[in-house]
Amino acid sequence: MSVVIAIDGPAASGKGTLAKRAALAFGFAHLDTGSLYRAVGMAVLRAGMDPSDAEAAARAAWDLHPEDGILDDPALRTDEAAQAASKVAAVPAVREALLEFQRRFASTPPGDAPGAVLDGRDIGTVVCPSADAKLFVTASVEVRADRRLKELRGRGIPAIPSDVLEDMKARDARDSQRAVAPLRPAADAFVLDTSALDAEQAFAEAIGFIGSKTGLSPRGLKPRA
Ligand code: CDP
């Protein structure tokens, strides 16, 4: 039985970095489920269609083969892809099409890993409701917009602070108000507000929580002393 860690939260909350580091620390496989929605959003845009077009989005989702390396496409990291992702993500048929791949990843992680860390918006509530440990990573919208701004500028992408903040608010609204699998913490999730924490502090909190829920120590599968 694979150990499953669910990490959810809004955009730029730091959940992706946290998930990656936690997977490494415990020797688990990691799936950034946002990249699935980004890939579907980009596929729709590339086909010259509108990401809000439910039929086009559903078709792109059923046609997606994440095993083919498509999730590594750098174009998925753009803001254009993020906005398209949050539109296709509101389509129930898209979520349904992506469900099986995510659940399979959790139950039989690639590389025979003993566990999987999945990060997204609905991992603890819908995809893996019986995950061994659930984290909901969040931060104020201003802090998150600031982090995203630094990330964009670090990648040499010019960005206007007020635009980044508005985009963040628009995506938050779409993600938390949609009818299907809206962004919200699971009842049994540990809510980690990183507004006043740096990456190291957030990581230490997360690792401590995962260790306490699974009985695993960060460096492997030894039980905690
Ligand atoms: O990295 P960032 O937090 O900005 O975004 P992401 O995690 O790559 O997700 C992009 C978009 O996909 C989100 O705004 C959500 O609308 C959607 N998404 C989702 O609906 N469910 C998930 N499990 C993951 C992402």
> pLDDT of the chain along its 225 residues, tens only?
899 999 999 999 999 999 999 999 999 999 999 999 999 999 999 999 999 999 999 999 999 999 889 999 999 988 899 999 999 999 999 999 999 999 999 999 999 999 999 999 999 999 999 999 999 999 999 999 999 999 889 989 889 999 999 999 998 998 899 899 889 999 999 999 999 999 899 999 999 999 999 999 887 444 544
DSSP H helix total and E strand total for the chain: 8, 5
Q: Report the nearest atom of ligand 1 relative to the CA of 10.
A: 3
Cα(95) to centroid(ligand 1), Å: 12
Asked if 197 and 138 touch (Cβ cutoff 8 Å), the reply is no
Pocket test for ligand 1, best of 30, 37, 76 (most atoms within 8 A of CB): 37
Domain ranges of the chain: 3-212
Q: Check if 102 has its Cβ closer than 6 Å to any atom of ligand 1.
A: no
Q: Are 135 and 5 in contact (CB under 8 A)?
A: yes
To test the pocket of ligand 1, the residue of 71, 86, 105, 152 to mutate (highest count of ligand atoms within 8 Å of its CB) is 86
Distance, in Å, from the CA atom of 116 to the CA atom of 120, rounded to the nearest integer, reads 13
pLDDT for position 224: 47
Largest CA-CA distance found in the chain, in angstroms, rounded: 56
Q: Is 145 in the pocket of ligand 1 (CB under 6 A)?
A: no
Cα–Cα distance measured from residue 121 to residue 176, given in angstroms and rounded to the nearest whole number: 9
CB contact set of 45 (below 8 Å; sequence gap of 6+): 51, 80, 81, 84
CA of 224 to the centre of ligand 1 (A): 33
- Report how far ligand 1's centroid is from the alpha carbon of 209 (Å): 23
Q: Which pLDDT score, from 0 to 100, does residue 123 have?
A: 98
The model's pTM is 0.92
How many A from CA of 34 to the centre of ligand 1? 4
Residue 132 Cα to ligand 1 midpoint, Å, equals 22
Q: Is 88 in the pocket of ligand 1 (CB under 6 A)?
A: no
Residue 114 CA, ligand 1 centroid: distance in Å? 25
Assigned fold of 3-212: Rossmann fold (3.40.50)
Six-digit token string for 107: 């139950």
